[in-house]
Each structure stands twice: as C-alpha cells, then as structure tokens.
C-alpha cells in the first residue's frame, strides 16, 4: 500500500457548507467504512474552513485508487495528489545502504 497526500481547495462561493446536502454527502464519503469499500484507508483528514482547504492522508494500493477517492472533491475545486512515505520509511531506506 502506498501513502498519498491529497490536497483540495475550492472557491468560497463553491464551499460545501452552503449546501447541507453536499455537507452530508462529503461527511458520508470521508468515513472509514466508505474508504474501505473504495480500497483506501484514511490515516488523517484536516480542514481549514477559513482557507477552504482540505487535506487527506490515505493508504491506497495505487494513485488511481487514491484519485478515485478524491473525485467528490474535484467536482467543487482543485485536487492534487502526491505519493510519499513516512519519515521512518525514508530513514530506513537511507540507512540500509
């Protein structure tokens, strides 16, 4: 499983909080149960309402699966996905050479 950082931003006028239905849909989407159905594990999620910025950290088998999970966010703003590793994994890689 890979580690993926998903960052999403949207314009204030597209903010989901303006639509209780959209808030409900996103709240149901970003759950452990739903993530598992879609083949990912949510390790962390963070929202900065003032900046209209959302961050998710996922474990997924590949970037395509991580991107599929991020699709609802892409409908209202930008999404970037970066693959990475934990600090411990990077240290192990560096020290094993």
| pLDDT tens track for 14-73 | 999 999 999 999 999 999 999 999 999 999 999 999 999 999 999 999 999 999 999 999
Q: In angstroms, what CA-CA distances link 54 with 37, 63, 92?
A: 21, 18, 30
The confidence score (pLDDT) of residue 34 equals 98
CB count within 10 Å of CB 79 equals 20
Task: Please give the residue range of the domain that contains residue 40.
Answer: 2-95
Which CATH number covers residue 19?
3.30.70.1060
Q: In angstroms, what CA-CA distances link 49 with 10, 63, 75, 80, 82?
A: 10, 26, 18, 18, 22
User: Based on the structure, what is the number of domains in the chain?
Assistant: 1
The confidence score (pLDDT) of residue 97 equals 76
Largest CA distance in the chain: 53
């Amino acid at each position: 499983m890979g580690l993926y950082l998903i960052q999403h931003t949207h314009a204030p006028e597209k903010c989901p909080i303006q639509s209780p239905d959209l808030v409900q849909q996103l709240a149901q989407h970003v759950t452990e149960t739903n993530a598992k159905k879609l083949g990912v594990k949510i390790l962390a999620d963070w929202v900065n309402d003032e900046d209209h910025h959302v961050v998710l950290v996922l474990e997924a088998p590949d970037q395509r699966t991580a991107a599929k999970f991020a699709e609802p966010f892409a409908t209202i703003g930008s999404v970037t996905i970066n693959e990475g590793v934990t600090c411990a994994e990077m240290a192990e890689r560096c020290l094993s050479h």
